[in-house]
């Protein structure tokens, strides 16, 4: 979903999400750090590991929230952040999650909501490496900096443009 700060802020507010952790996954370098993912060809994307209670929220509902809070049309970028580390990507843990992710992407493409195809990748989860402590719950630790980033990046403006007011809801669609 791009910068992990914004995705973690969103995901932590969803009923049924028990824990989140920001980090790096999808690349080939072991134990990457921020500089490795942003200034080298490590292949990692900024990511959020989500632990959730399936009795309170389904994987499909999490996918719905995810789609409505990203820009699924721009390759290797998210809002004002550019580079492969910001690509939109869904990492799945098993075949049921893979199938659900692929079906949700196909349904969105088949809806013809957008004039161009969805570029969000769907890939098997690879080892997840936690980001540095200062990135964890950044939105709480540095609210002024986070809010300035969010406004300056025009994240809310772009999601509203793509999805309408549903993008501003933190609740999954029913």
Burial-class residue 10 by CB neighbours within 10 Å (0-12, 13-18, 19+): buried
Distance of CA 155 to the CA centre of its chain: 12
Give residues with Cβ within 8 angstroms of 23, minimum separation 6: 4, 46, 47, 48, 49, 128, 129, 130, 131
Catalytic residue among 1, 2, 3, 17: 3
| Cα dihedral 155, 174, 95, 50 sign | positive
Q: State the Cα–Cα distance between residues 161 and 50, nearest whole angstrom.
A: 26
Smallest CA-to-CA distance from 68 within 144, 174, 173 is with 173
For residue 153, indicate whether it is catalytic: no
Strands (E), 109-162: 121-124, 129-130
Under 8 Å between Cβ of 91 and 125: yes
Q: What are the catalytic residues?
A: 3
């Amino acid at each position: 979903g791009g910068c992990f700060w914004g995705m973690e802020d969103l995901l932590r507010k969803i009923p049924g999400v028990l824990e989140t952790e920001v980090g790096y996954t999808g690349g080939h370098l072991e134990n990457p750090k921020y500089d490795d993912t942003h200034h080298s060809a490590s292949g990692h994307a900024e990511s959020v590991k989500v632990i959730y209670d399936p009795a309170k929220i389904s994987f499909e509902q999490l996918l719905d929230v995810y789609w409505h809070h990203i820009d699924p049309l721009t390759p290797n970028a998210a809002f004002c952040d550019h580079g492969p580390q910001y690509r939109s990507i869904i990492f799945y843990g098993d075949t049921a999650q893979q199938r659900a992710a692929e079906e949700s992407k196909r349904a969105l493409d088949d809806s013809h909501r957008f004039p161009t195809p969805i570029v969000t990748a769907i890939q098997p989860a690879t080892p997840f490496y936690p980001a540095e402590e200062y990135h964890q719950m950044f939105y709480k630790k540095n609210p002024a900096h986070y809010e300035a980033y969010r406004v300056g990046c025009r994240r809310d403006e772009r999601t509203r443009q793509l999805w309408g007011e549903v993008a501003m809801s933190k609740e999954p669609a029913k």
